[in-house]
A and B are shown apart, each in its own frame.
Chain A
Amino acid sequence: MIDDSMKEIINDFVQEALELLDTLSENFIELEKNPEDKELLNTIFRAAHTIKGSAGFLGFQNLVELAHSAENILNRLRQGEIKLTSDMMDYLLKTMDILMLMIRNINDTGQEGDFDNAEIINKLNMLALDEGGTGNTAAAGEQNTAAEDIEKKAEAEAQIKIQEQNEEKAKKKENLDDKDSKIEKTLNPTNKTNNNEKHPKRKVRNLGDILLEDNLMSSDELSQILKEKEKEEKKEESIEIESISNIVPPQPQMHPAVSVSAETTIRVDVERLDNVMNLVGELVLSRNRIFNIASKLEFKYPEDEFTESLIQVVSNLNLITTDLQLAVMKTRMQPVKKVFSKFPRMVRDLSKELGKEIELNIAGEETELDKSVIEEIGDPLVHLIRNSIDHGIEMPEDRIKAGKPKAGLIKLSAEHEGNYIIIEVSDDGKGMDPNILRKKAIEKGLIDEKTAFSISDKDALSLIFAPGFSTKDKVTEISGRGVGMDVVKTNIQKLNGIIDIESEKGKGSDIILKLPLTVAIIQTLIIGIEDEVFAIPLNSVVETLRISESSIQTIDNHEVINLRKSVLSLLRLSEEFGIESASESASDGKAKVLSNKEVYVVVVALAEKRIGIVVDTLYGQEEVVIKSLGDYQFGYKGISGATITGDGKVVLIMDIASMIDILQKR
């Protein structure tokens, strides 16, 4: 039944509707804070109306009904006839959730599905009529004057008002359900015949039909209005062609955002972008190689004129490739807002549930990062924020006792720092007590007592990331299973990110995520062991040290060094990789420890853990494109991928997460 072109139309609808719903729930939260904001109400109304309109066009009747009921309330709010109550907001948000579910369902199945919304629709209608009972006549009168304004006001508002007016009047005669079915009746036949016609025109005609049918307007009046409308539309079209869209006020029925931006944006399949990204990766490799060869030639034939022009061309190529790479990367960039926008709602719901007062402060939501990173950070942030709400922020009375403002504050911010993005979740709650964390960890059997008290306070804070760790004794709906922080750790590790926790008892906690901007092209530190060369993702590297072998100490057969008063475990890459040392193969282990040979230690961190990797040589930094080893892993996890360096050689990229694992299991 559903052919491809229909599928495409439905897809577009789903995309648009989901985006609109996202903004809607955000706007609702905003509205709760400023219930008097007329502009905001109008925006919300327009969005809801667009969803209703498109759904009607596609024949999703259930959706239309629900959206319509919500719209009724919104309209009355907009007209100032009723006041926004917390109860009302709950139902509106619930409606958004149901709409979201329905649209997801349409996306998955192409069908609306069976949703029984009678209850919520009833409730919404009740809310819409509530209070309105007394103000009904006044409202109608007000709208009558509005109807007279139509001729003067050459703007889209009028269009809606006609409709609303009609609805108000119809309400007097019939109950809502009847009226809906009537509109359906009049809408549907025209839907079939007028599919190709312009959206607003169809609407106007339908309204006209209804108006006539109900004897609410004489045909003269109607044709006059229709003429007005047509004139308006013509004007709009011509203006749109000249794309001076600013002059025309937003047209609610014309999908405001789309009509303006349709000419400047284009939806592209992610697969195509990935393909372009891969090709650019190949190009970067080739550039690296040419660059390498050119510099060798320059060294060999410094005076040659061809060398000189080659160098020129290469440096030009270099510039272009870098720009191209940036440009392609940009196409995959999305503002972090996409993730952040769902949090105000979450904070509202959860704090209400827990009886806490919490304010969420979001900063830097325009910060952009790679799509793949965006996809991965959603869940960790949810868990971090839930954690702050549940464990961090105290109950209002406790806060007052502690001399803090009644409402807790959670700050969520994002900012760029070089090739990284820093995402910070902080709260001004009760903070974490390292000693309590230690005790809980021992209770849960995650570490033994000896280790628990030998680790630093900062490391003790990291205990919250252990799977199964929870300070709650009871499992609640919100937390207590000890899964959340484990999810945070796993996802951040997957992205080669670093987690840093700072917490002060009584003052609050601060969790900082440091994530790479992109995952396909990374900066690496090239290191050497004997003759062999490996790459370490630079975003895991904290620092490099040059130490003497004699400063390495042994605790429980583990090699460690003392780095600024904290103990750093060491992993000898030559041992781990089984690379035999040419010079030391003759001497035994003891001699090695005593020798004064200098080695390099690369301090790497992943999520909350730090270790030192002992290497022979540091070659420098190189930007590389990750090639998956894909089919060929050789059963070893220590290598995450490979890359091809400037000289065409394959260099293996180390997997820091596994290195840390390996060291811990020893």
Chain B
Amino acid sequence: MEQEAVNLPKDKKADENAGTNEIIQLVTFTLGSEEFALDILKVQEINRMVEITKVPKAPNFVEGVINLRGKVIPIVDIRKKFHLNLKESTKDTRIIVVNILGKTIGLIVDSVSEVLRINSNTIQPPPPLVASLDSDYIKGVGKLDDRLIILLDIDKIFTTGEHNLIESTIK
């Protein structure tokens, strides 16, 4: 295959040696019918849905906060962020706890499928528009048999403004 390999932060070699068989591990999850993936190194843990405490006047994509073993972390409904139709949580709903630029944040997803070992050269650069998402935070699209997996760049998921909203505003 002669596709350009995607520049992964932890896999710099993949860029230089495009076409080599670099194995990367991804956590895949679903939102509606689409399948997404995150670099496993960005994922701290995956939890079942718990009761979320709403935070008054928080930005609308912030669902609230939860207690993560004594630490209070914010929860983002990724459906709201991606402007997808909202969905009631089910028994499959999961919270993926990720580290974004040093902050611990929980993401609500419909379900978590599996941990995938995938050859980096099967990942293609993102097409201009995928599932009505902006493409900045899409790292690429992985092809696996007949499945199409959208690889997200978690660090780019929030705009600077959104980060500032989540982050401290104390003087």
Contacts and interface: CB of A to CB of B under 8 A. Distances in A.
A299 interface: no
Contacts of B56: 576-579, 636, 638-639, 652
Interface in B50-106: 51, 53-59, 62, 64-67, 70-74, 103
Contacts of B55: 634, 636, 639, 652
Contact of A285 (B53, B70, B73, B169): B70
A634 B58 contact: yes
Given A632-B168, A650-B67, A532 B72 contact: no
A631 B105 CA distance: 11
Contacts of A635: 57, 59, 164-165, 169
B166 interface: yes
B42 to A, nearest CB: 17
Contacts of A577: 56-57
B146 interface: no
A106 to B, nearest CB: 33
Contact of A634 (B70, B72, B165): B165
Interface residues of B, number: 26
Nearest to A634: B58
Given A634-B165, A648-B67, A578 B57 contact: yes
A181 B71 CA distance: 62
Interface in A407-457: none
B71 A634 contact: no
Given A577-B57, A579-B56, A649-B51, A632 B70 contact: no
Nearest to B55: A634
A651 interface: yes
Given A642-B65, A649-B67, A650-B66, A632 B54 contact: no
Chain A interface size, as a band, is 20 to 34
Contacts of B66: 650
A650 B56 CA distance: 13
A627 interface: yes
A445 B57 CA distance: 33
Given A632-B74, A639-B56, A642-B53, A650 B168 contact: no
Contacts of A627: 70-72
A282 interface: yes
Nearest to B170: A633
Contacts of A285: 70
A629 interface: yes
A652 B51 CA distance: 14
A644 B54 contact: no
Given A578-B56, A652-B55, A632 B67 contact: no
A151 B51 CA distance: 82
Nearest to A642: B72
A644 B53 CA distance: 11
A189 interface: no
A629 B168 CA distance: 8
A532 B168 contact: no
A133 interface: no
Contacts of B170: 633
Given A532-B54, A639-B55, A651-B53, A634 B67 contact: no
B70 A644 contact: yes
Interface string A566-587: 0000000000111100000000
Interface string A614-628: 000000000000010
B114 interface: no
A632 B53 contact: no
Nearest to A281: B70
B57 A634 contact: yes
B53 A634 contact: no
A632 B65 contact: yes
A285 B72 CA distance: 13
B65 A631 contact: no
Interface of A: 282, 285, 532-533, 576-579, 627, 629-639, 642, 644, 648-652
20 contacts: A532-B53, A579-B56, A627-B71, A627-B72, A629-B72, A632-B73, A632-B74, A633-B170, A634-B57, A634-B62, A635-B57, A636-B55, A636-B56, A636-B57, A639-B55, A649-B67, A650-B53, A650-B66, A652-B53, A652-B55
Which 5 residue pairs spanning A and B have beta carbons closest together?
A: A577-B56, A634-B58, A636-B57, A650-B53, A642-B72
